[in-house]
Amino acid sequence: MCSPVKCRQCGKTTWAGCGNHVEAVKRSVPAGQWCGGHQNTQTPSSGGGIFGRLMGR
């Protein structure tokens, strides 16, 4: 079952759960308060993790 949650980036409402009930969650939230998603703003990994160091990346 899906439920409304607060977006960590913009503070608007988005959803969490299985994905089968997103439309039901959206119906309970005013359109102006729904988070439309965000472009991936993270930079690509520099290979600084242990696997990256082991593989020489």
Predicted local distance difference test score (pLDDT) of residue 43: 53
The domain spans of the chain are 1-31
DSSP state, 28?
T
pTM for the model: 0.64
- Helix, strand, coil abundance in the chain, percent, nearest 5: 25, 15, 60
Question: With 0-12 CB in 10 A as exposed, 13-18 as middle and 19+ as buried, what is 14?
Answer: buried
pLDDT tens digits in sequence order for the chain, 57 residues long: 899 999 999 999 999 999 999 999 999 999 999 999 998 755 555 556 777 777 776
Q: Are the CB atoms for 2 and 23 separated by under 8 Å? A: no
Residue recorded with tokens 């939230």: 29
